[in-house]
């Protein structure tokens, strides 16, 4: 399975999502993460610590002759239309992370419009950085997106500081000592299960 994580906006959890979906998929089959973002955020994350799967840039990917059961691709923010078309047509699913704020949602709407122009339907929206209760922002945005009929993951990613710790330590969130680590990992496990059993 090839999963591409893409967004028209930075700061929506694109690299965090790529890292953690790759970690989940690694438990199912050998997984490779390709860092195609010029910022090289996933490679920097990997170099700071230890991840349970290899991370390479797009130029090194062809040097990996070993077949992988899964490939996750972390892309640059705001890909041009031609790149978006290529990304979408060479993967099994585009994962579009978005935070529940107006600027991220504006960028999401623009990306969905581009995908519609390209007649691409193999994507699903992932709501990330959902604020804790009593905020109802996550619930309200999920309801709004569902009302539009856009394809969404049932699961969502709650906002936890442990993700920053994981990035600093170069680890997957389940390897970080933090009281919220298990809850954070459970969010990505739920999304990963949806990937493998989309129904």
pLDDT of residue 191: 97
Q: How many CB atoms lie within 10 A of CB 11?
A: 13
pLDDT of residue 198: 62
Domain architecture of the chain: domains with CATH: 2-196 (3.40.50.300)
Residue 8 · residue 108 · CB < 8 Å: yes
In the chain (199 residues long), the average pLDDT of successive 10-residue segments reads 93 96 97 94 97 89 76 89 84 95 92 90 95 86 90 95 97 97 97 87
**Phi, psi dihedral angles at 64 (to 5 degrees):** -100, 90
pLDDT of residue 75: 93
For the entire predicted model, the pTM comes to 0.94
Local structure of 89: helix, strand or coil = helix
Find, among 188, 174, 169, 77, the residue nearest to 127 by Cα: 188
**Phi, psi dihedral angles at 133 (to 5 degrees):** -65, 150
Element at 4 (helix H, strand E): strand 2-5
Interatomic CA distance for residues 185 and 102, integer angstroms: 26
pLDDT of residue 199: 64
Count helices and strands in the chain by DSSP H and E runs = 7, 6
What DSSP designation does 132 have?
P
């Amino acid at each position: 399975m090839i999963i591409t994580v893409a967004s028209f906006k930075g700061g929506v959890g694109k690299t965090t999502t790529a890292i953690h979906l790759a970690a989940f998929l690694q438990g199912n089959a050998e997984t490779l993460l390709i860092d195609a973002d010029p910022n090289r955020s996933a490679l920097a994350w990997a170099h700071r610590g230890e991840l349970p799967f290899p991370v390479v840039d797009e130029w090194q990917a062809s040097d990996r002759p070993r077949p992988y059961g899964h490939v996750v691709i972390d892309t640059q923010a705001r890909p041009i239309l031609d790149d978006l078309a290529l990304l979408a047509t060479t993967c099994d699913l585009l994962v579009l992370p978005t935070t529940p704020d107006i600027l991220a949602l504006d960028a999401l709407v623009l990306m969905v419009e581009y995908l519609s122009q390209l007649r691409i339907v193999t994507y699903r929206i992932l709501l990330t950085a959902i604020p804790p209760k009593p905020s109802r922002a996550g619930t309200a945005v999920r309801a709004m997106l569902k009302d539009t009929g856009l394809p969404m993951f049932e699961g969502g990613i709650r906002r936890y500081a442990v993700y920053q710790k994981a990035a600093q330590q170069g680890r997957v969130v389940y390897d970080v000592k933090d009281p919220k680590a298990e809850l954070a990992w459970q969010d990505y496990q739920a999304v990963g299960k949806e990937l493998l059993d989309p129904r």
